[in-house]
Amino acid sequence: MINAVIAAVGVMLILSLSRVHVVIALIVGALVGGLTGGLGIDATLKAFNSGLGGGATVALSYALLGAFAVAIAKSGLAHALADKALAMVDRQHASGGRQVKWLLIGLLWVVAIASQNILPIHIAFIPLLVPPLLYVLTKLQLDRRLIACVMTFGLITPYMVFPVGFGNIFLNQILLANVSKSGVDISQINVMHAMAIPAMGMVFGLLVAVFFSYRKPRVYDLAKIEQVEQVSIAYNPMTLAIAGLAIAAAFIIQLLLDSMIIGALAGFLIFSVSGIVKWRETDDLFTEGMKMMAMIGFIMIAASGFAEVLKATGQVRTLVESAAAWVDHSQALGALLMLLVGLTVTIGIGSSFSTVPILAAIFVPLCVQLGFSPMAIVCIVGTAGALGDTGSPASDSTLGPTSGLNIDGQHHHIRDTVIPTFLHYNLPLLAFGWLAAMVL
């Protein structure tokens, strides 16, 4: 009988690739996984429903961030940046705007990296910054698949290797803590050293995407962008200053209280009190922002229920044990199979942060039995967890870029974000992760 995890993830991916909405694909995949795993329809639905609450906080956070993003857009801050970029494009028309192209790619890359370690706001910057820049990106004929790869790199790689911000949570509080809990001495482990080689796989994928896969121009319809995103919005130094104050307040409050919800709400209130957002417009603007981020919220909620069903079947452990039976004490084959299992599980769950605790309890004893060093064990578990976060239809690291790039309906989530990021990051990460396990 087919393993329930493989059945659930396989159905979810097939439906997603067939242009079925990701939420529906997750629900159907969860039902297939639960029934294949012997839970029965009642137990499957109970597990799915019990898991929905796990995504509610994230969904509400994104909804409030959407309202905050609309308020920032109303201030003209992002449009001021877009206007300056557009002016640079016009001035450099003879050279094709190449300097502006690299400036914008570099800007999005730096901001994405900063969103993980320096100012840990994750995907919250995307609806603020990307939509106003789409007109310029389109005029430059930049392939949006390239932009999706650039932003996804910045959303994933920093927390994989730098123990600051989200990296501190992933590397220290989740990865090292769970490996230690399974009985491995981590006192002498340099976690940056352990994850450096896998991170180089992400760098390799980024370079391929930028300089080979998507370097050619791609034409989009400017008229569609103009219908949904105003190219020119009135702004002045006062509105820009208030926008800066609101953003700073949101960041500081979020860092102090560890709450995206309160941070976004504080920023939105500053816009309301300042008059940039009129009191009579508050309700409509808030609703508009929530609609903008609603898809991500619902997908995250559905993904949480999907993950709970996979856990309830108990067949993640069965999948690992089946893989172990093929190992026959081979470190090379064992490392490869563990990474492939991690890829399968994380694609389904959509979160490396949620996958590591599940995998560590099963992988660590197997790694010890195969004779891997503590450094290699940390590398295998960390890489197995990170594999699939890029390229998962349910990951906020792919949903975020899509939410910003698809406001005009010209960027498909699966074809233009999920498949490109899967090919450019999961395959190199798998290869570099396996190499690291062999040499550490």
Q: 401 lies in a domain?
A: yes
Q: 221 lies in a domain?
A: no
Which residues are CB-neighbours of 120 under 8 A, at least 6 positions away? 165, 166, 255
Specify the number of domains making up the chain.
1
Question: Please, are residues 429 and 387 in contact by the beta-carbon 8 Å criterion?
Answer: yes
Tally of CA atoms within 13 A in the half-sphere of 78 that contains its CB: 27
Q: Is 197 helix (H, G, I), strand (E, B) or coil?
A: helix
> What is the rounded CA–CA span in Å between residue 332 and residue 167?
28
The counts of H helices and E strands in the chain are 22, 0
Q: 220 lies in a domain?
A: no
Q: 370 lies in a domain?
A: yes
> What is the rounded CA–CA span in Å between residue 317 and residue 113?
34
Task: Report the pLDDT value the prediction gives residue 379, as an integer from 0 to 100.
Answer: 92
3-state helix, strand, coil in the chain (%, to 5): 80, 0, 20
Q: 402 lies in a domain?
A: yes
- Tens of pLDDT, residue by residue over 290-345, are 665 666 667 667 777 877 787 788 877 777 677 667 776 788 888 898 898 888 87
Q: 223 lies in a domain?
A: no
Q: Which of 361, 396, 380 is nearest to 125 (CA)?
A: 396
What predicted TM-score, i.e. pTM, was given to this entire model?
Answer: 0.74
Q: What single-letter DSSP state applies at residue 121?
A: -
Q: 324 lies in a domain?
A: yes
Which structural domain range is residue 94 located in?
Answer: 4-215+233-439
Task: Report the pLDDT value the prediction gives residue 85, as an integer from 0 to 100.
Answer: 64
Question: Please, are residues 380 and 365 in contact by the beta-carbon 8 Å criterion?
Answer: no
- Tens of pLDDT, residue by residue over 159-196, are 899 887 678 778 887 788 878 877 788 888 888 999 99
User: What's the residue count for the chain?
Assistant: 440
Task: Report the pLDDT value the prediction gives residue 268, as an integer from 0 to 100.
Answer: 78
- The single-letter code of the amino acid at 12 is M
Residue segments in the chain with a per-residue pLDDT below the cut of 50 = 231
Task: Report the pLDDT value the prediction gives residue 54, as an integer from 0 to 100.
Answer: 61
- Other Cβ atoms within 10 Å of 139 Cβ, number: 18
Distance of CA 353 to the CA centre of its chain: 11
Q: What is the CA radius of gyration of the chain?
A: 22
